[in-house]
A and B are shown apart, each in its own frame.
Chain A
Amino acid sequence: MLWNLLKAFVVGGAICTLGEVLVLKTKLTPARILVGYIVAGVLLSAVGLYAPLAEFAGAGATVPLTGFGHALTNGVKKAVQEIGFMGAFTGGLTATAAGIAAAVFFGALAALLFKPKAK
């Protein structure tokens, strides 16, 4: 298990550091970088490059936003295999439903419980 944690740390850290390079070296805003990351994840996964990385690094590859893209592609492919063409529309959200629903639900909950604080 320690070996798995180490792999996740090394790969996950590297993916994040690449994002920081974009922050510091370009004028890209975080929102644009995140969009770039998720699209890159979808495309890398579609051409089969992301699966080996996820296999190797586990959460190091699935927790960063590229992993979210990877999950979208996996879901779409699986759904197409199961229900055919319409799977292109159902698969992505089915596979990522938990993350999105959790963020929406906890976001709404937090907004009811907490107040914004000045810095």
Chain B
Amino acid sequence: MQGTIELRHRPRLCMGAAIAGKKEGEGPLGKGYDQIIEDDLFGEESWEKAECRFFYTAADTCIRKAGLTHQQVDVMLGGDLLNQITSASMAARELKIPFLGLYGACSTMAESLCIGAMLVDAGHVRTALCAASSHFCSAERQYRFPLEYGNQRTPTAQWTVTGSGASLLSSDERLPTIARCTHVTIGRVTDLGIADANNMGAAMAPAAADTLTRHFADTCRSPADYDLIITGDLGRVGHDILMELMKERGHPLIFERYMDCGLQVFSPEQDVHAGGSGCGCSAIVLNSHILARLKAGELQRVLFMATGALLSTTTCQQGETIPGIAHAIVLEGDASCSGTC
């Protein structure tokens, strides 16, 4: 085995919360979010403060929905896309929950769930909160151009999602159970030489293929064992490449049972080119749409895998290629558990 860890106590995912921006609210999954914030500034003075408030609101909503107080959460794991993950840290300053900041670029939601699930499974903590956020405006100004700059987006470019999602994991049996975490597969940094920062899907797809292949080998499973395989933000291009790569590797994905959050979060009419991206993309889709379907019993077993492009503007300007990473976690509906174990 390399990288796949079986969680023997099958820690529960008790609650999820998703806070989304206006454009996301107008998207196909708009109805499922806990709150849609019409004002991109969220009443704050800057995009960074707005993103921090998104993070805080998602975390706070998730804790309150589970009927807990901030003091009852033992640890919070999370991050965002900004330099020094300030959105997450500043939100943690207000939440006052012991905090481990994570940077996994757009894979942060899966990374935090993997670590949180392992901590709860091992019994080190009772309750862990996992969260991630991104904001279109703060990401644009850091990674690309000022908002009012008249640049042309290429067809492979993706649109950073404004939003934040949080999930609560706990071993406390009094809490509701939406799903159980059964396996995590930790990603390897994979780089097949893509240097075009406007084609993140192509940069991240090899990492996704690597994690999936190892996961299937380690668990002796195949794509057919999952009701749904969910990638984070590969977008149109990355989605098609991953289908192709998995075919080559002998584990062809089943088209109807594979979805990419980046392709679901916006509709094609919203002019987002290859789809959505950012930590918030997989975070809000998982914590609204996917958890709702798991809860309703429509899905029994899913593999949630968020992908990240580990680049910075500095490495990009120095001509480095873009390393990708993908972390995966298996979630099983609670109903399936009572029947089988």
Contact = CB atoms under 8 A, between A and B. Distances in A.
B248 interface: no
Contacts of B137: 116, 118
Interface string B191-230: 0000010000000000000000000000000000000000
Interface residues of B, number: 11
A119 B151 CA distance: 13
Given A23-B152, A30-B151, A118 B196 contact: no
Name the interface size band of chain A.
under 10
A116 B147 contact: yes
A25 interface: no
B256 interface: no
A116 B50 CA distance: 14
B80 interface: no
Interface in B122-145: 136-137
A119 B147 contact: yes
A23 B155 CA distance: 13
B146 A116 contact: yes
A116 B141 CA distance: 11
Nearest to A30: B151
Interface string A103-119: 00000000000001111
Contacts of A27: 196
Interface in A66-95: none
B152 A117 contact: no
B40 interface: yes
B210 to A, nearest CB: 26
B148 interface: yes
Nearest to B150: A30
A27 B194 CA distance: 13
Interface string A29-68: 0100000000000000000000000000000000000000
A99 to B, nearest CB: 18
A23 B152 CA distance: 9
B90 to A, nearest CB: 20
A89 to B, nearest CB: 30
A50 B240 CA distance: 48
Interface string B44-63: 00000000000000000000
Contacts of B40: 118
Nearest to A27: B196
Contacts of B162: 118
B151 A117 contact: no
Contact of A119 (B136, B152, B196): B136
Contacts of A116: 137, 146-148
A109 to B, nearest CB: 14
A118 B146 contact: no
10 contacts: A23-B152, A30-B151, A116-B137, A116-B146, A116-B147, A117-B147, A118-B22, A118-B40, A118-B147, A119-B136
* 9 A-B pairs with the lowest CB-CB distances in the bound complex, closest first: A118-B40, A116-B147, A118-B137, A116-B148, A30-B151, A117-B147, A118-B136, A23-B152, A116-B146
